[in-house]
Amino acid sequence: MRTLKILGFLLTYPSPDHCEVMEECRMLLREEKWLSKDSLQALEALMNDFVKRDILDLQEGYVALFDRTPSLSLHLFEHVYGDSRERGQALVDLTRVYEEGGLVIKTGETPDYLPLFLEYISGLSTEEAQENLGSVVNILSSLGERLKNRTTHYEAVFTALVEVASKKPDPKAIKKALSEDTGIARSPEQMDQEWEEQFAFENTAQTTGAGQDGGCPKAGEMLARIRDYNDKERGKK
């Protein structure tokens, strides 16, 4: 699904390439018709930014959001594990899943970087892609709500991802995450403290979704489903 690749591309560090291919991105999103008209309209505003704003302003804004605000990190496992050992093992497992799917990471990003994850699931069936988005829908929704508090068009990407996920966000989990961090800009001193406490969700049954419906399943469950899908695909060959 090219839609997922484009949404991931929109979340990467702005470069002249973004400005050059925005019209093509618009066309592909319209042709694939995977998103609602409202989502497409909201994404138009973000794509217009890439065309109209100065590249240095785009880059500065991107860094301020995603690199300097821990609660807006685009690394999914940080929102579940922080810097704990569990995150390290989850990263190893996810790297293995990508490799089994024939993908090799060629960037300096860790495998839980959202654009990488979106590129991977874009190669799965529609149902599998939606299920994997559903696995992290609470994280996606909380990021979208925090971006809304920053009044940025990047919010549209997360709204679109939540829209097509197989599960709806858990309102209680989102409310709790936002009560812990609204995503608003912080002072340098506050940012230093936040990097030491960078859990968007506590690693508990309620927020990881273990043993309940509607939550955000543990990374292990998401990886297991991806591996099962790969095994089925290999069995067809």
The pLDDT profile of the chain, 237 residues, written as one tens digit per residue, is 899 999 999 999 999 989 899 999 999 999 999 999 999 999 999 999 999 999 999 999 999 999 999 999 999 999 988 878 888 999 999 999 998 888 888 878 999 999 999 999 999 999 999 999 999 999 999 999 999 999 999 999 999 999 999 999 999 999 999 999 998 876 666 656 655 655 555 554 434 444 444 444 455 566 666 666 555 555 555
Provide DSSP, 131-193.
HHHHHTHHHHHHHHHHHHHTT-TTHHHHHHHHHHSSS---HHHHHHHHHH-------HHHHHH
Rounded to an integer, what distance in angstroms lies between the CA atom of residue 157 and that of residue 68?
Answer: 19
Its domain, for residue 22, covers 2-236
**Residues 198, 68 contacting (CB under 8 angstroms):** no
10 Å CB burial of residue 94 (0-12, 13-18, 19+) is: buried
pLDDT reported for residue 171: 95
- Distances in Å between the Cα of 7 and the Cα atoms of 27, 65, 96, 142, 197 are 13, 17, 24, 17, 28
Instruction: Please name the residue ranges forming H helices in 34-75.
Output: 37-52, 55-62
Crossing angle of the two packed helices 114-121 and 126-135, in degrees rounded to 10: 150
CA distance 165 to 11: 18
Q: Are 34 and 3 in contact (CB under 8 A)?
A: yes
In the chain, how many domains are there?
Answer: 1
Predicted pLDDT of residue 176:
94
SS3 69: coil
Whether 102 and 95 have beta carbons less than 8 Å apart is answered as no
- The pLDDT of residue 30 is 94
Contact 160, 46 (CB under 8 A): no
Which residue has tokens 């002249």? 16
Q: What is the pLDDT of residue 82?
A: 82
pLDDT on residue 64: 94
pLDDT, residue 124, reads 93
pTM: 0.80
